[in-house]
Amino acid sequence: NAGVTQTPKFRILKIGQSMTLQCAQDMNHNYMYWYRQDPGMGLKLIYYSVGAGITDKGEVPNGYNVSRSTTEDFPLRLELAAPSQTSVYFCASNLGGTNEKLFFGSGTQLSVL
Amino acid sequence: RKEVEQDPGPFNVPEGATVAFNCTYSNSASQSFFWYRQDCRKEPKLLMSVYSSGNEDGRFTAQLNRASQYISLLIRDSKLSDSATYLCVLTGFQKLVFGTGTRLLVSP
């Protein structure tokens, strides 16, 4: 099993550009999450999904969109990149809910200049 | 008051030392508690869950004090490889809440 796979690992965007962060898991997990981690801060939940076709906002959803057309994939879309979106992004998945171990992808370092 | 608070450290300890971290939380309704480990620029990985009666995994001991609303992590016989940031994680209202982490540096 590859676990949770995130791409790309690094990306530099100009203000106003758009991009999609890819996330895929091969563990048949229902729940998938997108977090961002700013320096010296805890992880903040952007969006999550409890199954294919179902997504919901987390704490910091503004400026992002997600979709979940399959169990395996949960891409995160940035439409108009802003410097405030400079962060490290982690995708994660688990079997179900807050009591289950989270499996994280290796992260994407995004800089918006 | 923040939902979860951790001393950012760093805690500098020599190899073989015993070190302990605390994490305080504000939501008395939190049900599940965890310690995650995060190496520099890497993803967090589950170190251990924290159970009401306390639990041990090798050199690591986790405890929960509901009355005072804190959890603790004790590391015995520290190794160089224990150098990392330790994240306190607990359940909030339908979500997980992550602490900012405590950095541990173990030196030879």
Question: What pLDDT does residue A60 have?
Answer: 95
CB-CB neighbors (< 8 A) of A89 in chain B: none
C-alpha B48: how far from chain center: 9
Tens of pLDDT, residue by residue over A13-54, are: 999 999 999 999 999 999 999 999 998 888 999 999 999 999
Residues of B with CB under 8 A from a CB of A: 4, 8, 31-32, 36, 41-46, 49, 87, 91, 94-101
Sheet of A19-25, strand order: A4-7, A19-25, A76-78, A64-66
Question: What pLDDT does residue A17 have?
Answer: 97
Question: What pLDDT does residue B96 have?
Answer: 86
Instruction: Give B35→chain A minimum CA distance, Å.
Output: 11
Dihedral over Cα of A66, A68, A69, A70: its sign: positive
| pLDDT tens, N- to C-terminus, chain B (108 residues) | 788 999 999 999 999 999 999 999 998 888 889 999 999 889 999 999 998 889 999 999 999 999 999 999 999 999 999 999 999 999 876 778 899 999 999 999
Q: Is A3 helix (H, G, I), strand (E, B) or coil?
A: coil
Interface test with B, best of A102, A103, A110 (most B CBs within 10 A): A102
Q: Is A66 helix (H, G, I), strand (E, B) or coil?
A: strand
Quote the CA–CA distance of B39 and B34 in Å, as a whole number.
Answer: 16
Tens of pLDDT, residue by residue over B2-23, are: 889 999 999 999 999 999 999 9
Apex A54 CA angle, A111 and B47, nearest 5: 60
Quote the CA–CA distance of B54 and B41 in Å, as a whole number.
Answer: 30
